[in-house]
Structure 1
Amino acid sequence: MIRLLFIYILCMVSGLSAAAQETIELTGEWAYSVGDSTQYNDYVTLPGTVPANEKVWLSKSVYVPQTWEKKHVTLFLERPLGETTLFVNGQEAGRQTSLIIPHQYDISDYLVPGQRNKIAICVNKGIVGLMGLKTQSKKLYIDKWTMRPDIQMGLVHQTFNIGGTKRLIGGDVLYGDVWQIGHEDKQPIEWGNYLEDRQMSITAFLGNETYLWDEFRPRLYGICATLGNEYQEKKFGIRMFSVNSGQLCINGCPIWLNGMVEDGSRFSETGYPPMDEDTWTDIFKKCEEYGLNYMRFRGYCPPEAAFAAADKIGFYLQTDSCGETELQQMMETYGHHPSLMMLTPYSAVTQRIQELGPWPAFPDTKEVRDKLRDNGMAYQAELFMMASGKQQTLRYKDEIEQNLRDKDKAGFLMPSFSPYAKAEEWREFCSPVVALAQFPKYVYANTDSLIVPVGIYNAMYGEIQNTRTAFYISDDSMKVKTGGILSVGKIPVAKNVAAGTVCFPLDSIKKPERLSLVVTVAGKLKNKWDFWVYPTDSVETVDVPQDICITDTLNAKALDVLKNGGKVLLTARGKVQYNGREALGTYIEQSHPLFKYDFPTDMWANRNWQELLDGSLAMDLTALPKDYLSPIQPIDQPETCRKLGMLVEANVLKGKLLVTTMDIANGLDRRLVARQMRKAILSYMQGDDFKPVITLQPQTVSSLITK
């Protein structure tokens, strides 16, 4: 079990934005050289990366005003992309290795005020974020500022580490104000007291009512501190993250962390995460649109801008650390952000937060389109993306709903991904309030009754009062078959709160049909599930027409039928030798005449296809005419984009052949979908629609199966 570290508030003064500080920005053009050479013969613009994947030297000449002679000067580099070694006017001023916090160097003793000073930095890859020199009083300045909240008393206890050459005396006081962001009223803070080891303490009273922070009410405070002529201002939030009898709670209210893993892959174009707050705000708001409230940064720590954005909109963050030193650095630098909820050892798995997927979808890129064109599938890129995207959504829907029902799970994590579904559709099964229907199966005979328990997942900040939960069942034409009210009352904050059971006899369904169960909560929120109903024809009714030869091998009898102009159905399930990688879904050509013979289908392999596809292998159709496509087409991996198929029809010798790798021969008394597909194929082969468009030799047909 991974032990999570719960953060309250801890912060360190940093950055270049504090008032009453003189600053010099170091952004812009820098000279640079690659490797160990310090012959600067090229230039690069910082912040940013350098055009070399190795150690580089960066150099810049900076004029330092004469007025800085009595100042404490710090070089601030927000996010170096590697270890830095600093030289000022030819003297080594230090070395820092952190990849997660700013590099800050005290260069007061290396600068010569009133003239230009040379700053040289050795670093890998570059430097991003804020870059500059900042000043404080050399006699007395705030070096570090930490906070500890007392939520019950409405206080924030603070400790300040004081730097400078001056000896602390009783007249050196530290004071400030605290206020709720968005309100003008400020509460003066008590005067500071001198402690040992150059420390001062101060207590901030938060007013008669403490405003707590969470995802629904992201309320922040502002606080300022003044020491002499130095003024510092910060934003922070108050919240309590705890575990109560195995349940995660924030401010005493149960929560579940439903989020995604951010591993940096989305920033491959730049090679580093965004350093601005607006971009992170867009990222977190997009996650919220899809019902997520949490992000884990795997293998790295985001910059200050990410925490600031998450604080404002109410989004929970977790970061990884590599050890005790790095963990302490993160706490000191980012701990005042209420959005920082957890720190975990590098890449460790939190057992009670389930990791979902990954379920990839087919990419639509130029390289993939070129491969599809070369293999005769030029126009299918978007179709493949849609079909695989639909399947991706269904798989995540199943996993998420299972997680929302499981009271032992503290939440879930999805891999970093770009969902195919629109946010409105996704939020039906992933949001703070979700209707849950626990189907025992999704394929029914019309002699069955649909019996489905319904529950509600409520992760809002309180119970929902006077709520009506209702349902209806409709067909593809939106005709309502039945409906009703399941329950009326309050819904507590909990998982899978029982709301009733849907019961519906299916004997009124006389032909194969897809139906949809829709459950609504409070008339606004809804969730939907498709299920299929097939008639209960016995196996004997799946008659074999006399003019169709059914075989599982292209044997002499089958060839003789073809020579005489007959029809052959070749069921090759289990015979195929081709064994490619797992498909990314299956594209179904809905307009193919086969499917009008009482086999309702989508353009993708929905749940009703699972019975037909499980255990069945695809045929590699590369050797067939380039323009021929199977109506049942597994989607190959984008690296190869092979043309695959599970059903091929062709003119062979003087007859007509249909070959399929789906199992439509075994267990038809219990496999309703397979039985219906067999009937549809036989009816199709008997009708006028069976007109194969390609002609193949028997050996070519055999090679589809044996190669």
Structure 2
Amino acid sequence: MYKQYDLSGIWRFAMDPDKTGVRDGLFETLLPDTIPLPGTTAQAGKGTYNRERGTGFLTERYPFCGWAWYQTVFTPDPADLHKPLLLTLERTRMTRLWINGTELGSCNSLTTPHRYQLPPLENTAPLTITICVSNTDYPTKGGHMTSPDTQTNWNGITGEISLTVLPQVHLTDLQAYPDAEHKSVTLRGMLRGASCGELTVTGCAFSKDAPCLQEIAPVHTRLCADEAGAFSLQIPLGEDALLWSEYTPVLYALHLSLSGSPGDAEIRFGLRSLTTADMEFRINGAPVMLRGKHDGMLFPLTGATPTDLDEWLRLLGIAKAYGINHYRYHTCCPPEAAFTAADLLGIYMQPELPFWGTLAAPGEEQYNKTEQSYLVEEGFRMLRAFGSHPSFCMLSLGNELWGSSRQMAQILRGYRQADPRHLYTQGSNNFQFWPCILEEDDFFSGVRLSKERLIRGSYASCDRPLGHIQTARPSTDHSYDPLIFPEQAETRQTEAAELEIQYGTGVKTVRVEHQAEGLIPHKPIVTHEIGQYTVYPDYAEIPKFTGVLAARNFEVFRERLAGAGMEDQARDFFLASGHLAAQCYKEEIEAAMRSRYIAGFQLLDLQDFTGQGTALVGMLDAFMDSKGLISEKQWRGFCSDAVLLAEFDRYNYAGGEAFRAQVQLRCYRPDLTGTMHWRLTDGDACLAAGRLPLPSSPMGLVTLGMIEARLPDPDTTRSLTLTLEIPETDVQNTYIIYVYPNLQPALPPQVKMVHTVPQALELLGRGARVLLVPDTIRQAVDGFYCSDFWCYPMFRQICESMDRPVAVGTMGLLVDKEHPAVSGFARANCTTPQWYDLITHARCAVLEHAAPGLKPILQMIDNFERNHKLGLLFEARVGAGRLMVCTIRLHELADRIEGKAFTEGLYRYMASGQFAPRQELTPEQLVELFGACPPENEMKDEKSRDREQNRENPRD
């Protein structure tokens, strides 16, 4: 390595929010304050403490926007005189540099190190280095690189801050271009200070746990550069060279020493071939499926992206433990340490340009030459800075872009011509409802192939139609293949139009010129930002936010819940909604696994996203810590390189039915062998078992065969566990199915069912047991099975601004499963597939205004903005009578086996001595909840109908 000085430490400092420092000559003065570097102004607590309490994202305790000045003094060693110097600022914002009061230049990269070439020193006089960092007036908005929703718009310098002393003759700008087929690497770079030199190359292969796996034969050669100083050199690695992939994350480190020049240059790379064939990705010729997660670089403690290797090894290691092999960086690019960690762990990385907008062509109305030129150059900088990392696998032009596909194609051609080591795509979910695949695309990333052909399971309400997990009865037989290649082609629509769409956190009007017809893909498909199932906040996380960001949004949500009288249910809401979200994620990921023509998916997200309205969509919290909702092993059961899939059309069965399922294996694991074993259990009792052989070297989606078992005929509802596994491996997946007794519920004579408040009050006044299934609910929310998408308040505002239906906004049931009214039916205290038809045939009564003290037996969890107390089933004493209110329309479920079982259990409870409600309601409260008394003649008609219905039932 070349000689290097570490400039980290205490620097002089000044804040310049009004950006007058250049005019005032701060670069010529001794700055008045101090600050530790590397670091940010927020980490140092500089500025005015922020007391705001926003709900859209975490609160930065010490926000700062403007210019900040940093200054240090460096005294050179006499041995370093007359040599080139290189100042490196690894991670920062837009910078300007002064040495001894003379400005030397500026740099505006948001994603790559800022490097300044300093003139050789003539004497040992101290150097005053002054740097102005600006986090305002960017040449582009910056996406998640600068967003307060994610890592904050910080100001500072993080990571390496160094001064490198370069020999008079030295190598720079090294890039490695591996050739996996020929087991060699071509090194390209610049030779400075001479046109030729004697070069020695040594090196070895290494891994995370082995410093030297294999040495390469030293190479001695005469290196000659062209007139510009550029050189190219091929290095053989040997016939037994080691390839890089997620299974063999082996790297090479080469040291290049020029004769007579002190120090050496080092380049690290991986020997790998990343290609596509038909509709799949291939790594070193073997198929691979991308199991990805989104990363917006949200780091609550630091507010800025970490730059140390150990932290990235920890973070990426957690993701890998959950079966993740791919990261997509939403409108951002991670630092060097992230790529290095991904190299060592075997993770396929996809950074993006820091852009979320319109890439128009010259001459078009929205063309911004300055911004577009900046973005294109930023992409080239990313390729130069990180392109030799084998984990740098894909590059996207940005998120949900609009504009000119021809212009995007031209940009991609430029990148590929300059750097063929990566795969490229025009963007993530470009053109949304009207996608296209360019000739220059290596793969397609999106959520639909036309408005109706959906390739993920959930969508925002403003982007209707909704997905199959939001609208269809739960099952395990959904595949996207029939939508990817439909039997009947869609009608082509080519007329131009201006349309209003949801765009980020707002609304945008776009012009669709063509390609409005359905897309028939011919390249690998990566389904974009799948999941987004909301989990209720866990307020126990609040004390974890001890760094630059405070969870004041969580505090506000908790106060709202307390104001609604439900603070004591917060933990139950979190757990019940979280378990539903986990079920939805399982169904979502398995649908992708079951789809032969889906080459990968990108979750949004494995972890919470605490911005954009506060989107708590993760199984992990914002710190990448488990929420305790699902274990790593359970998650890997459906998110791994080898997943066993049981395909059946429903979860609910009548006793004595035959259960049948087709078993498939989605596999990319080399050399997986053995036999698939299955068993169906009821607790510890095994009801049926069997095995199916694996084919030799299974790869891709493989059908193993059918399994069948006769189900028991139970006296009460049972939940059975189907386990699929390959013994002596970690490949295991489980499913819960529900079996119901064959019953035909009959209303007991001592129970009266009514549909209006007047009917109920008349009977209650005589001390009756009354089941009210109300025709009218004064204030209600529709029953909706799936958890809310992303974040209710954000999309409520968007839907209202677009005059589109607002989402229901709920997060599943909280079930008092020990209550005797449901204890024979409910198998968990949260939403499970047995509740689908019951929920979707119900309206949830809003209780907090008329009956704030009521605690429902079945309660729908509302979102943290609205905080309704929502009841589907609750009981109360009204005067001398006993009342059960059920907002599930039971008559609509008469042919559903689960509806019969639920109804029968409810009837049995109401007829028993256990039906003794402790809560009380007044007649006035009932009227407020379920409607005013009807006119006198209508009341008589209702009473007559009621007497007719119950004429043979004696009063209780």
Q: TM-score, normalised by structure 2?
A: 0.68
CA contact (8 A) 1:33 1:41 kept: no
**How much has 1:106 moved relative to structure 2?**
1.0
Identity of aligned residues (%): 27
CA contact (8 A) 2:13 2:68 kept: no
Q: In the alignment, residue 96 of structure 1 is paired with which amino acid?
A: C
Work out the CA distance in 2 between the residues paired with 1:489 and 1:357: 32
Query: What does 1:179-194 align with in structure 2 at a 5 Å threshold?
Result: 179-181=204-206, 182-183=212-213, 185-194=215-224
- The aligned residue for residue 335 of structure 1 is 387
- The aligned residue for residue 211 of structure 1 is 242
CA contact (8 A) 1:652 1:698 kept: yes
Query: What does 1:5-154 align with in structure 2 at a 5 Å threshold?
Result: 19-34=1-16, 35-37=19-21, 38=26, 40-50=31-41, 51=46, 52-80=64-92, 82-108=93-119, 113-123=123-133, 124=135, 125-137=155-167, 139-154=168-183
SS at match of 1:634: strand
**How much has 1:701 moved relative to structure 2?**
1.7
Distance 1:193 1:163, change over 3 A: closer
Greater share of strand = 1
- The aligned residue for residue 875 of structure 2 is 649
- 2:850 maps to 1:677: no
SS at match of 2:690: strand
CA contact (8 A) 2:11 2:70 kept: no
CA contact (8 A) 2:322 2:635 kept: yes
**How much has 1:370 moved relative to structure 2?**
4.4
CA contact (8 A) 2:176 2:267 kept: no
Query: What does 1:497-576 align with in structure 2 at a 5 Å threshold?
Result: 497-506=702-711, 508-509=713-714, 511-522=716-727, 524=729, 525-537=731-743, 541-555=744-758, 557-572=759-774, 575=777
> Which of 438, 444, 454 in structure 1 is aligned with 2:647?
438
Distance 1:624 1:491, change over 3 A: farther
SS at match of 2:825: coil
CA contact (8 A) 2:756 2:775 kept: no
CA contact (8 A) 1:578 1:706 kept: no
CA contact (8 A) 1:595 1:601 kept: no
**How much has 1:640 moved relative to structure 2?**
4.3
The alignment covers a number of residue pairs equal to: 671
CA contact (8 A) 1:469 1:486 kept: yes
Q: Deviations over 1:440-491 (max 9, x none)?
A: 111112353211111111111x2423x111211111x321111112335435
Q: Deviations over 1:283-307 (max 9, x none)?
A: 1111111111111111110000001
Q: In the alignment, residue 333 of structure 1 is paired with which amino acid?
A: A
Distance 1:574 1:173, change over 3 A: farther
**How much has 1:516 moved relative to structure 2?**
1.7
- 2:195 maps to 1:168: yes
- The aligned residue for residue 423 of structure 1 is 632
Q: Deviations over 1:643-694 (max 9, x none)?
A: 32211211113211111211212240x2222222221111111111111112
Q: In the alignment, residue 415 of structure 1 is paired with which amino acid?
A: L
Q: In the alignment, residue 453 of structure 1 is paired with which amino acid?
A: Q
**How much has 1:371 moved relative to structure 2?**
4.2
**How much has 1:55 moved relative to structure 2?**
1.7
Deviates more, 1:626-635 or 1:365-374: 365-374
CA contact (8 A) 1:577 1:706 kept: no
**How much has 1:612 moved relative to structure 2?**
0.7
Work out the CA distance in 2 between the residues paired with 1:259 and 1:433: 15
Work out the CA distance in 1 between the residues paired with 2:599 and 2:776: 42
- The aligned residue for residue 538 of structure 2 is 364
Q: Deviations over 1:328-347 (max 9, x none)?
A: 11111111111111001111
- The aligned residue for residue 661 of structure 1 is 887
CA contact (8 A) 2:72 2:130 kept: yes
Q: In the alignment, residue 319 of structure 1 is paired with which amino acid?
A: P
CA contact (8 A) 1:192 1:201 kept: no
Q: Deviations over 1:46-95 (max 9, x none)?
A: 11111322222222222233333211011110001x21111111111101
- 2:688 maps to 1:482: yes
Q: In the alignment, residue 192 of structure 2 is paired with which amino acid?
A: G
> Which of 604, 610, 630 in structure 1 is aligned with 2:836?
610
- The aligned residue for residue 223 of structure 1 is 254
Q: In the alignment, residue 288 of structure 1 is paired with which amino acid?
A: K
Work out the CA distance in 2 between the residues paired with 1:339 and 1:574: 59
Query: What does 1:290-309 align with in structure 2 at a 5 Å threshold?
Result: 290-309=322-341
> Which of 441, 453, 464 in structure 1 is aligned with 2:662?
453
Q: TM-score, normalised by structure 1?
A: 0.90
- The aligned residue for residue 249 of structure 1 is 282
Work out the CA distance in 2 between the residues paired with 1:217 and 1:116: 49
Work out the CA distance in 1 between the residues paired with 2:812 and 2:684: 27
> Which of 284, 297, 317 in structure 2 is aligned with 1:285?
317
- 2:925 maps to 1:704: no
CA contact (8 A) 1:574 1:616 kept: no
CA contact (8 A) 1:576 1:617 kept: no
**How much has 1:42 moved relative to structure 2?**
2.2
Can you give the 5+ residue segments of structure 2 that lack an aligned partner in the other structure? 47-63, 136-154, 207-211, 356-374, 400-426, 429-444, 447-524, 543-554, 608-617, 620-628, 783-807, 933-956
- 2:563 maps to 1:395: no
Work out the CA distance in 2 between the residues paired with 1:298 and 1:585: 29
**How much has 1:225 moved relative to structure 2?**
0.5
CA contact (8 A) 2:538 2:570 kept: yes
CA contact (8 A) 2:757 2:931 kept: no
**How much has 1:232 moved relative to structure 2?**
1.3
Query: What does 1:596-635 align with in structure 2 at a 5 Å threshold?
Result: 596=823, 598-623=824-849, 628-635=854-861
SS at match of 1:429: coil
CA contact (8 A) 2:767 2:880 kept: yes
SS at match of 1:187: coil
- The aligned residue for residue 16 of structure 1 is none
Distance 1:573 1:218, change over 3 A: farther
Distance 1:687 1:146, change over 3 A: same
- The aligned residue for residue 5 of structure 1 is none
CA contact (8 A) 2:177 2:388 kept: no
**How much has 1:576 moved relative to structure 2?**
5.1
Can you give the 5+ residue segments of structure 1 that lack an aligned partner in the other structure? 1-18
SS at match of 1:693: coil
Distance 1:141 1:507, change over 3 A: closer
**How much has 1:24 moved relative to structure 2?**
4.1
Distance 1:381 1:608, change over 3 A: same
CA contact (8 A) 1:25 1:131 kept: yes
CA contact (8 A) 1:189 1:203 kept: no
- The aligned residue for residue 672 of structure 2 is 464
Deviates more, 1:119-128 or 1:368-377: 368-377
